[in-house]
Amino acid sequence: MTLLHLDPSDLDHRGGTHTAREIAHQPAVWQAVHDQLQAGRTQLEAFLRPLLALPDLRIVLTGAGSSAFIGQCLAPGLLRLLGQRPGIRVEAVATTDIVSSPEQCLQPEVPTLLVSFARSGNSPESLAAVELADRLVKRCHHLAVTCAAEGTLNRRLANRREAHVLLLPDETHDRAFAMTSSFSGMLLAAAWAFGLPLRPVTELADAAQALAEREADRLYALAEQPFERVVYLGSNALLGLAREAALKLLELTDGKLVALADSPLGFRHGPKTILNDRTLVVILLSNDPYTRQYDLDLLRELRREGRARVLALRAAAPADAEAPHADDVPLKLPAAAPDLALAPVALVFAQCLALLASLRLGITPDNPSASGTVTRVVSGVTIHPLPPTHQSQQSS
């Protein structure tokens, strides 16, 4: 589809062609990712089944930046799915933490499945985290979810017996600076790999496309407002999504718009002081009936106080819900959909808002960092050797 009715020639002139296309083609990309996962299901299950049967398995979901937020989205649902067994653990730990503090993040005696998310597979931390896990954990297996066949991560793990690579379709390998379809593609690929409950892929795709088409006027109007600060709030899987949404706005506006992410309950504990009359707050309402009560409490509080513009992205409301508000943004998903199913659809709204804000500020979305100090694949990272006290556990 033509995203938000943007003129392709104008986008090309303003340096936003790749970003707009990669946001727009996500519904089709999700179907391609789903089909590929189904085609490789036998080999994937042969790898995962014996590991998930281990009573004391530790699953570490890892990546850097946006890729780390994928793990944060997945961890609550994966723990709920697998956590009935008393010994199993699921944790989202950024590669940046593993690399800087390996002894605090890796447990040598605990069987570990390191699930690495990497768009290019070339970031220094992604590669170093795999190497450190191999050195320090006695029984370590790897599941890599990546978008680049030529990436170093894929090439290092593709033929290893204790590893499995989910190499996603090339359409997920974003050419623009910001991760868009690579984020949602890797998120859904991992969810389907572990059998997390979602909604049918066609339903997710239809909801995302309908949202972009239906909300175009609202998105343009928001982008034209003189907001200086934007806050994304979410609970459970939607907290990781809120962090990704805030990062997209920071990246695509080259830091000119301040963006913050938190949980609705955590926001009251200090971060709420950021609010003023030039602040936009976007609350990603949970579909979990219990959690949703806390989300709605804060939503009502903020709207009552009137210090900021407050939007609520919400799935179909339960039959006994209060009347809709003009600043409610409906997602074409049922009230029974898990929060993880809301995440990729809600993200399309945040990506579109970030793109329009970038264009309004005269920034080139495909390469927004005017100074060049932030790059598509992170650079300037020195991986320091472990000191002698950090000996390999494999030889102990």
pLDDT digits (tens, 9 = 90+) for 347-388: 999 999 999 999 999 999 999 988 877 776 776 788 898 887
CA angle 300–303–308, rounded 5-degree value? 140
Is residue 34 assigned to a domain? no
CA distance 271 to 123: 31
Select from 178, 196, 214 the last residue of a domain: 196
pLDDT of residue 324: 85
Task: Give the pLDDT confidence score for residue 353 in this predicted structure.
Answer: 98
Q: What is the pLDDT of residue 56?
A: 93
- Residue stretches of the chain with pLDDT short of 50: 393-396
**187 shares its domain with 235:** no
For residues 337 and 237, the answer to whether their CB atoms sit within 8 Å is no
Same domain? For 189 and 213 the reply is no
**What would the pLDDT profile of 111-128 be if each residue is shown by its tens digit?**
999 999 999 999 999 999
Residue 116 lies in a domain: yes
Shared-domain flag, residues 213 and 258: yes
Q: Give yes or no: residues 108 and 192 share one domain.
A: yes
Residue 17 domain-assigned? no
* Claim to verify: residue 103 and residue 219 sit in the same structural domain: no
Rounded to whole angstroms, what are the CA distances from 285 to 1, 101, 104? 27, 34, 34
Pairing, β 140-146 against β 112-118: parallel
158 & 279 share domain = no
Q: Has residue 136 been placed in a domain?
A: yes
pLDDT at residue number 319: 62
Domain finish residue from 139, 172, 196: 196
Q: Are residues 128 and 149 in the same domain?
A: yes
Looking up residue 189, the CATH number of its domain turns out to be: 3.40.50.10490
Sheet holding 328-330, edge to edge: 258-262, 229-234, 279-284, 309-314, 328-330
Quote the pLDDT of residue 395.
41
- Give the domain range for residue 148: 40-196
Q: In the prediction, which pLDDT does 66 show?
A: 96
What stretches of the chain adopt beta strand conformation (E)? 58-62, 89-92, 112-118, 140-146, 163-167, 229-234, 258-262, 279-284, 309-314, 328-330
Instruction: Indicate if 72 and 186 belong to the same structural domain.
Output: yes
- Structure tokens, 152: 């170093």
